[in-house]
């Protein structure tokens, strides 16, 4: 059995910088036509110069792959600045300060008055806003606690497209459907694992991510959206490479590396649920409509043939390392 995917897109990707970028960017470029590149580098991508330099660094590492760039949201972005970068970015990514890897310079407060000028300008310029939506509360509650902020922003800026990034809960899955201008990305790993896989048996640092994997009923709510390719959701891997030495030590960094095996594992999942016909929309069609993009042409052929996930890519251990999977890329 074969499956042909046209121009797959990964609408939430971390490529890092330097040697790590050189290791992981080609792996995404191998199977995706493009990806939305997260700006939480060190320092963050928050100026036109940084943006263009980062884009060039990525383009130097890949072929036949579009890095859709993002800026790291700052409340002081004004209309003129945003207008000057509009052609170079696809979206702007907002992080609450300190909520995840390299997010220290993020937003301290969701006071609408403070955010209004930047968000109104984005709305007018039709620049979508991607949000890492977590409160600073108890780890299992953070996403659900953030829902009121999503709703408030969606209501206050009805023409601003807001992407709820890497949703992990049934609460987010429901809220998404209540506002026309809310959309969401869903990762591969949150369709596969719950907190039980991270910490229910032995502790598995390679499955530790932010937002943390939640409860079985949360995973079910995400599967419902993804497997049916609900037009409000699109695939975003949140693939986040960290060197093995950083994942397997006390103070393990958050992040799961899935980029090179994402399509194969999505095919396995969608086939298992009899939803293979919906995969094209989940990994490309929906994103094209939400972001109004026409990706470069790229055909990826998957074959139902057992393969084994490599134990490492460079110094990075992938999701399900060493495990057998049912699909391969020809």
Site for a copy of itself in 212-231 (CB under 8 A): 212, 215-216
Residue 41 or 101: the one with the smaller Cβ distance to a copy of itself is 101
C-beta of 272: minimal distance to a copy of itself in Å? 21
Binding mask 128-167 for a copy of itself (x = CB under 8 A): ----------xxx---------------------------
In the list 20, 156, 254, 325, the residue contacting a copy of itself (rule: CB under 8 A) is 254
Name the residue among 9, 70, 59, 3 with its Cα closest to residue 282. 9
Name the residue among 329, 192, 173, 326 with its Cα closest to residue 256. 192
Residue 1 or 203: the one with the smaller Cβ distance to a copy of itself is 203
> d(Cα 270, Cα 328) in Å, to the nearest integer?
14
If binding means CB under 8 A, how many residues of this protein chain bind a copy of itself? Answer: 27
C-beta of 242: minimal distance to a copy of itself in Å? 11
Name the residue among 268, 267, 289 with its Cα closest to residue 279. 267
> d(Cα 202, Cα 205) in Å, to the nearest integer?
10
**Distance from the Cα of residue 111 to its chain's centroid:** 25
> d(Cα 169, Cα 192) in Å, to the nearest integer?
13
> d(Cα 235, Cα 49) in Å, to the nearest integer?
29
Is 248 a residue that touches a copy of itself (CB under 8 A)? yes
Annotated active-site residue 76? The verdict is no
Residue 82 or 320: the one with the smaller Cβ distance to a copy of itself is 320
Catalytic residue among 10, 46, 238, 281: 238
H helix or E strand, kind and range, residue 289: helix 286-291
Is 69 a residue that touches a copy of itself (CB under 8 A)? no
Is 115 a residue that touches a copy of itself (CB under 8 A)? no
CA distances to 196, 265, 300 from 134, in Å: 21, 27, 34
Residue 12 or 206: the one with the smaller Cβ distance to a copy of itself is 206
Site for a copy of itself in 188-207 (CB under 8 A): 194-196, 198-200, 202-206
C-beta of 215: minimal distance to a copy of itself in Å? 6
C-beta of 232: minimal distance to a copy of itself in Å? 27
Residue 151 or 244: the one with the smaller Cβ distance to a copy of itself is 244
Q: State yes or no: cis peptide before 211, omega within 30 of 0.
A: yes
CA distances to 40, 167, 266 from 288, in Å: 24, 19, 19
Residue 156 or 195: the one with the smaller Cβ distance to a copy of itself is 195
**Count of other CB atoms within 10 angstroms of residue 24:** 24
In the list 42, 63, 250, 274, the residue contacting a copy of itself (rule: CB under 8 A) is 250
How many CA atoms lie within 13 Å of 13's alpha carbon, on the beta-carbon side?
30
H helix or E strand, kind and range, residue 135: none
DSSP-assigned letter for residue 22: H
- Residues near a copy of itself (CB under 8 A) are 138-140, 194-196, 198-200, 202-206, 208, 212, 215-216, 247-254, 317
Catalytic residues: 238
């Amino acid at each position: 059995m074969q499956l042909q995917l046209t121009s797959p897109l990964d609408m939430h990707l971390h490529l890092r910088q330097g040697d790590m970028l050189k290791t992981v960017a080609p792996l995404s470029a191998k199977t995706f036509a493009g990806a939305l590149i997260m700006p939480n580098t060190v320092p963050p991508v928050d100026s036109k110069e940084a943006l263009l330099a980062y884009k060039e660094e990525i383009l130097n590492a890949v072929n036949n792959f579009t890095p859709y760039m993002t800026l790291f949201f700052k409340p002081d972005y004004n209309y003129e600045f945003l207008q000057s970068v509009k052609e170079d970015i696809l979206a702007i990514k907002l992080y609450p300060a300190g909520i995840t890897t390299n997010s220290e310079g993020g937003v301290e407060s969701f006071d609408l008055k403070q955010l209004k000028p930047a968000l109104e300008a984005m709305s007018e310029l039709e620049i979508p806003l991607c949000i890492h939506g977590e409160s600073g509360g108890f780890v299992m509650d953070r996403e659900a606690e953030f829902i009121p902020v999503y709703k408030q922003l969606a209501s206050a800026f009805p023409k601003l497209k807001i992407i709820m990034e890497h949703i992990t809960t049934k609460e987010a899955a429901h809220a998404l459907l209540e506002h026309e201008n809310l959309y969401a990305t869903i990762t591969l790993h949150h369709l596969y694992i719950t907190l039980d896989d991270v910490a229910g048996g032995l502790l598995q640092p390679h499955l530790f991510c932010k937002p943390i994997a939640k409860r079985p009923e949360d995973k079910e709510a995400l599967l419902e959206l993804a497997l049916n390719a609900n037009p409000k959701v699109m695939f975003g891997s949140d693939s986040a490479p960290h060197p093995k030495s950083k994942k397997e030590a006390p103070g393990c960094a958050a992040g799961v590396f899935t980029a090179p095996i994402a399509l194969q594992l999505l095919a396995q999942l969608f086939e298992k649920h009899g939803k293979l016909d919906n995969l094209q929309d989940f990994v490309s069609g929906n994103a094209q409509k939400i972001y109004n993009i026409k990706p470069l042409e790229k055909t990826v052929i998957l074959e139902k043939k057992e393969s084994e996930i490599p134990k490492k890519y460079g110094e990075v251990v992938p999701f399900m390392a060493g495990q057998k999977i049912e699909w391969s890329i020809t």
